[in-house]
Amino acid sequence: MAFNQALPKLVAEAIQSIVGDGPSGLHEPNFRGNELVYLKDCIDSTYVSSVGEFVDRFENDLAVFTGAKHAVAVVNGTAALHIALLLAGVEEGDEVLLPTLTFVATANAVKYCNAHPHFVDSSAQTFGIDPHVLSDYLHTATEMRGGQCVNHRTGRVIRAVLPMHTFGHPVDIDGLMAVARDFNIRLVEDAAESLGSYVEGTHTGTFGMAGTLSFNGNKTITTGGGGAILTNCTELAARAKHLTTTAKIAHRWNFVHDEVGFNYRLPNLNAALGCAQLEKLPEYLMEQRGLYECYATAFSEIEGVSVAREPPGCTSNYWLQTLILDDENASQRDSILLATNEIGMMTRPVWGLMHRLPMFLEASRAPLPVAESLERKLINIPSSPGLGRNS
C-alpha cells in the first residue's frame, strides 16, 4: 500500500467504465413494471388516501417478502423509526444506543420520543455497530440497577439499541442480540437501507422487537415517500397501526381517540406505486449485486482503494456501492469526490457523524475511532439498478 497520486483520475475512469459517460446519480429509481397500471387503478377506485386495497396488499407483500409476521406501512422511514422506538417502550428521559455513522433520521427519531441518543462505534467490516466493542464499553460505562442498564455518567436508563444496516450490509446481528440480552436492552433495527439483505437467510429488520424500512426515492424500491414497521409480535403490530392512524377508536361514526397518536399512515396512492415496485425487487437486487461485481473487478486493478463487500454469512442488497480508501490514500477523499462529481458521476462521503452535529454535541458517546476512520475513507458511488448491465 502506498500513496497513489493518480487515484482521483483512476477512480473516475473506473466508474465511467462501468456506468458509461452520461451523468449518473447516486441511486435513481426504475419504473419498469405495473406502476402506471396500479396508479390508474388507484385513481379509478377513488381510494387514494389512508384506506385502500393497495396499502393492505403492500403490507401483505412486504410481510411475505421479508418473512416478518406483520408489516405496517407508514409515510416514511423516519416515521417508522419513531413508532418502532415507541413500540420498544422508549420513554422521555431514556437513552438509546445508536451508531454515530448513520443518516440523521436515526438520531432524530430518538429525540421525537424525548429520549437521548447515545452514540457508539462501528465495525470496520460491517460499518454498523460493533457488538464486541459495544459490550466492552457498556461494561465500563454502565451498571445494572434493578435489572436495568443505567449510564454511570447521566444516571439514565439505556432502554434500547438501534443498529442500522449500513448501505445494505447487515450488522453483526447475532452479536448485538447477545449484548442486548446481557444488558437487558431492547433491540430495534433500522433496516431503511437493507430491504433484500439477509443474515444467514433471515431478512434484516426481523430480528429485533421491531424493524423499519424506507421507500424514499433513493432506496432500492420507492413509494415516493414511504416506510414500514416490521414485527413478529401481533400485539405490537396492532399498536403500530393504532399509533400511526391518530389512535382513533374504531366506530361507525364517532371520532374518539385514546392517546396522542400520529398521522403516519402511508396513502393508498403511494402504496400502489410500492406494489408495482415490489414485484420488480428481485430483479433490482440481482442488478445491484451484478453492479457490485462489475465495480469489484474494475477496482481490483487500482491500488489504494477497494469495493465494500457483504460480510461473511450475510447477503447484502448492495444498495449503495461503497469505495474504501486505504489509510495511505484517505487524504485523497475530497479530490476523488471532486473529480467524479465534476464529470457528472455523483459520489458522496458518508453522512457527517452524528456526534459532531450541533444538536447532538452534548449527547453521551463511546470512543468512536472506527467511525471517525470510516468517515475519512468511505465514498458512495453510482448504485442504481440497471447500471453496468452493458459494460
Q: Which residues bind a copy of itself (CB under 8 A)?
A: 28-31, 35-36, 39-40, 43, 46-51, 75-79, 103-105, 108, 111, 114, 216-218, 222, 224-225, 246-248, 252-263, 265-270, 273, 337, 341, 346-352, 357-359
CB of 373 to a copy of itself, least distance (A): 18
What is the residue type of 200?
A: E
Q: Identify residue 111 by its one-letter amino acid code.
A: K
Alpha-carbon span 197 to 321, nearest angstrom: 14
Q: How far is the CB of 250 from a copy of itself (least distance, A)?
A: 13
CB of 124 to a copy of itself, least distance (A): 21
Task: Give the number of residues written for the chain.
Answer: 391
For residues 152 and 141, give the distance between their C-alpha atoms in angstroms, rounded to a whole number.
6
What cell does 381 get? 458511488
d(CA 277, CA 195): 12
Q: What is the DSSP string of 150-194?
A: EETTT--BEEEE--B-GGGPPP-HHHHHHHHHHTT-EEEEE-TT-
The residue (of 37 and 286) whose beta carbon lies closer to a copy of itself is 37
Rank residues 206 and 380 by Cβ distance to a copy of itself and give the closer one: 380
Strands (E), the chain: 70-74, 95-99, 116-120, 142-145, 148-151, 158-161, 186-190, 198-199, 202-203, 210-214, 227-231, 305-307, 314-315, 321-325, 348-349, 364-365, 378-381
Nearest CB to a copy of itself, comparing residues 314 and 336:
336
CA 274 – CA 266 distance, rounded (Å): 10
Q: CB of residue 42 vs a copy of itself: minimum separation in angstroms?
A: 9
When the beta carbons of 141 and 305 are compared against a copy of itself, the nearer one is: 305
CB 354 to a copy of itself: min, Å: 9
Residue 69 beta carbon to a copy of itself: minimum distance, rounded to whole angstroms: 26
Q: Distance between CA 240 and CA 229 in Å, rounded?
A: 8
Closest CB to a copy of itself among residues 18, 81 = 81
Closer of 234 and 263 to a copy of itself (Cβ): 263
Residue closer to a copy of itself, measured from CB, 140 or 253: 253
Task: Indicate the burial class of 125 (C-beta count within 10 angstroms; 0-12, 13-18, 19 or more).
Answer: middle
Of 69 and 376, CB closest to a copy of itself: 376
In angstroms, give the least distance from the CB of 131 to a copy of itself. Answer: 26
Q: How far is the CB of 82 from a copy of itself (least distance, A)?
A: 10
DSSP state string for 50-100: SSSHHHHHHHHHHHHHH--SEEEEES-HHHHHHHHHHHTT--TT-EEEEES
Residues 270 and 293: their CA atoms lie apart, in Å, by: 32
CB-based contacts of 344, cutoff 8 Å, min separation 6: 22, 23, 24
Query: Shortest distance, CB of residue 261 to a copy of itself, whole angstroms?
Result: 7
Cα 132 versus chain centre, distance: 21
Give the nearest distance from C-beta 319 to a copy of itself in angstroms. 15
The owner of cell 471532486 is 338
Pick the closer one to a copy of itself by CB: 25 or 67: 25
Q: Of 175 and 274, which has the nearer Cβ to a copy of itself? A: 274
